[in-house]
Amino acid sequence: MLPEPIKNLVDQLSKLPEIGPRAATRLAFFMLNQPDDYLKDFARAIEELKQKTKVCQNCFNLTTDTACVICSDTRRDQNTICVVEDILDIIPIERTKRYNGVYHILGGLIAPIEGLTPEKLRIKELENRIKNLQQKDKNKTVEIILAFNPTTEGDTTALYLQRVLSSLGIKITRLGRGLSTGSDLEYTDETTLINAFLGRR
């Protein structure tokens, strides 16, 4: 019933999370009524999304350069590494404006039932990163802050990392206090997060 171009757009929009066919149709008609310039900008933003987005070779954050804005910021302490499950976990921590170290994105948490074994995560990369830092300056301590959600997977991953990294002679702490079991870092308020950082052990 719908003309082909509208139907095509509705089909694409329906694939987005939380967008059903009715919402997709509404959006398609909304866009049909927008100025050409807006639609061109919109199309270009989508086209460039994957073309221009790269992964930081140091921490695996997203970037448009070789190193991300956090890793290339010389005012940040490169010897304090906050290890997180994924990129979205960086956002609430950065929002607190109280963390001055860098990050390491693991790319998941250990969950053997879902096939997520330690080898599938960026643990080797973390080890190499720590070793490189230690080689660069032997007198500086490296601190690893494990900032995982307080879930079974978070606990398993923290215990695993504490075990494999213990031989490297670094300080390993974990966020904990104030974060209730099963809660999600992404939705944790700033005060709770700041307290969890201050109370890390």
Q: For residues 13 and 18, what is the distance between their CA atoms, to the nearest angstrom?
A: 10
* 178: β partners: none
59 near Zn ion, judged by CB under 5 A: yes
Which residue's CB is nearer to Zn ion, number 103 or number 197?
Answer: 103
Q: Is the dihedral of CA 195, 187, 50, 104 positive or negative?
A: positive
Which residue's CB is nearer to Zn ion, number 47 or number 73?
Answer: 73
Q: For residues 179 and 159, what is the distance between their CA atoms, to the nearest angstrom?
A: 17
In Å, what is the CA distance from 11 to each residue of 25, 121, 196?
9, 34, 44
Which residue's CB is nearer to Zn ion, number 28 or number 59?
Answer: 59
93 near Zn ion, judged by CB under 5 A: no
160, 118 in Cβ contact below 8 A?
Answer: yes
Closest contact distance (angstroms) between CB of 74 and Zn ion is: 13
58 near Zn ion, judged by CB under 5 A: yes
Closest contact distance (angstroms) between CB of 54 and Zn ion is: 11
Question: Which range touches Zn ion (CB under 5 A), out of 20-28, 65-73, 74-82, 116-124?
Answer: 65-73
- What is the footprint of Zn ion within residues 68-87 (CB under 5 A)? 68, 71
Closest contact distance (angstroms) between CB of 103 and Zn ion is: 7
Which residue's CB is nearer to Zn ion, number 103 or number 192?
Answer: 103
In Å, what is the CA distance from 104 to each residue of 58, 75, 134?
8, 17, 16
Give the binding site for Zn ion (CB under 5 A): 56, 58-59, 61, 68, 71
